[in-house]
Amino acid sequence: MADSADKIAASIVEHDEETQQPVKNNRQVDDAHRFVQEHSAIEWTEEEERKVLWKIDIRIIILLVLANIMTSCDSQAYGVAAIFGLIQDLKLYTIISTNPVILSLTKYSWTNSILTFGSLISQYPLLLLAQRLPIGKYMTGVVTYSGALSLLFLTLNNFAGTMALRRVTISPYSACLANDDQILLWFPRKEQPLRIGLWMCGASIGAIVGQAFDYAAASIKGQFEKSPWKWIYLLLGSMTVAYAIFFGIFFPDSPMTAHFLTERERNIAVRRLQKNQTGIQTRRFKPHQVLEAFTDPQLWLICVTGFAFAFATAALGSFGAIVLSGFGFSNFKTVQLYMPCSGIVIILMVVSGSLANKFRTSRIIIAMGFVIPTIIAYALLWKLPRDNQGGLLASLYLTVFFYGALIQTFGLLASNVAGYTKKTTANAMVFMVSSIGGITGPFAFKGSEASEGYPTGMIILMVSMAAAEVAMVTLL
């Protein structure tokens, strides 16, 4: 029984990089070891295992997806709130001219860029927390934190305070990335990709749900009628904190304490995780692989695409709704017309993933195909007459096509780089370059060019996407 306990404990917890033995001071090891020793070995049918898996999916995955949706609703609200008075109320502008009125939105751009700085700084602390806390308590803390920050927006009245609050905001993607290994506690490895994918999709779903909620919240009259963006943060923040309490109550720390399972089902849930045994992996640091990474031209070409995609994501996330409102639509109509962008992104990612599975050797060509519509879109947004609302709107929807290429880029990095140290270095290179893109992206648009449709921003984005296309052609 002791050997069995050791094997099962080893299959569901963090391993030492060199020996692949479970970390002995990990509480999860002790819990798993004790659970197996206290429960007799059993045999079970495939039907029983399917029933256990179904119950785990219904409880664990749905709660995690909803958590990601809630935190994403909070994070996407900033760009929409900008068209409902947030920029004016928080003084995120500078007056360049009074006749005619011309505003600089550099301060607003900085409040968007600081978010990437915050993600960079918070990533390591999040990793530490994720390693030391059960997934339930970790996500409860993340969701509570997200909701509390949304409520704190109601206390802001100037640029300095906004910068300080945005600095300590964490992105839903960073929170999930820090904790995706904890899904090992619930699912064997072959079941993990789909579940992690569903968990991560919560961010895109949250963008659509959040925008619909923003529309409804901004329509409320009463105390904040003149500053409708405050209703958005008040209601979203309150709902997120309430969900965090619900999540904390109903999300168990591990299969060993899952009260929604019967005692026999808990035994099956723990013992089926022996399928996670994977053999020894070499994780020693090799300096020569660092040099290989930095001198590999293919990695630098992937960095070019990473920068371009992050730059565009940050630029559109900050100014997408503002650009759309500049087409001549009312604020409420702008929110309605902006929602399809997130839906298009979800469809593109699904289509791109399907193409990647079917044409595994054509990732670069597929990625190039997704970038071309984006380049054309920025050219149209630059040159189309300002009164061509239909053409401008269609062009804005085309700008998000590069998300299909983003999926292929991740696949290239994962499958074409060999060696643990080189792969780690490559990931760090792309992460840092992408962070630079995320920091600089919000500055692509100049507030003084609002009446002209932000031509400088459209040109910069078009050139950056063209550079990504050239990089991918070179990779062929």
H or E element in which residue 104 lies: strand 101-104
pLDDT digits (tens, 9 = 90+) for 209-262: 888 888 899 889 888 888 999 999 999 999 999 999 999 999 988 888 888 999
**Global confidence as pTM:** 0.79
pLDDT digits (tens, 9 = 90+) for 329-384: 988 899 889 888 888 888 888 788 778 667 766 788 888 999 999 999 999 999 99
Contact 71, 206 (CB under 8 A): yes
pLDDT digits (tens, 9 = 90+) for 84-106: 999 999 999 998 877 777 788 89
Q: What is the pLDDT of residue 135?
A: 77
Cα of 63 vs its chain's centroid, Å: 17
H or E element in which residue 130 lies: helix 106-132
CA distance 2 to 316: 56
pLDDT at 72 over 50: yes
pLDDT digits (tens, 9 = 90+) for 304-325: 999 999 999 889 888 888 999 8
3-class DSSP assignment, residue 241: helix
**Domains, the chain, ordered by start:** 2-38 (no CATH), 47-262 (1.20.1250.20), 286-476 (1.20.1250.20)
Name the CA dihedral angle for 101, 105, 108, 109, rounded to a multiple of 10 degrees: 170
3-class DSSP assignment, residue 98: strand
